[in-house]
Amino acid sequence: MIAFGKKLAEELREGDLVLLSGQLGAGKTTLVKGVIQALIGTDPKHVQSPTFTYVHPYKGKPPLFHFDLYRLKEEKVFFDLDLDAYLSAGGISLVEWPEKVPSLADRDGRIFEINIQHQDHGRTVEIKVRP
Q: What's the chain's average pLDDT?
A: 94
This prediction has a pTM of 0.94
pLDDT at 100: 97
Domains, the chain, ranges and CATH? Answer: 2-130 (3.40.50.300)
Section 97-114 average pLDDT? 96
pLDDT band at 75 (very low <50, low <70, confident <90, very high): very high
The answer, yes or no, to whether residue 97 has pLDDT greater than 90, is yes
pLDDT at 94: 98
The three state secondary structure string of the chain is CHHHHHHHHCCCCCCCEEEEECCCCCCHHHHHHHHHHHHHCCCHHHCCCCCCCCEEEECCCCCEEEEECCCCCCHHHHHHCCCHHHHCCCCEEEEECHHHCHHHHHCCCCEEEEEEEEECCEEEEEEEEEC
pLDDT at 43: 87
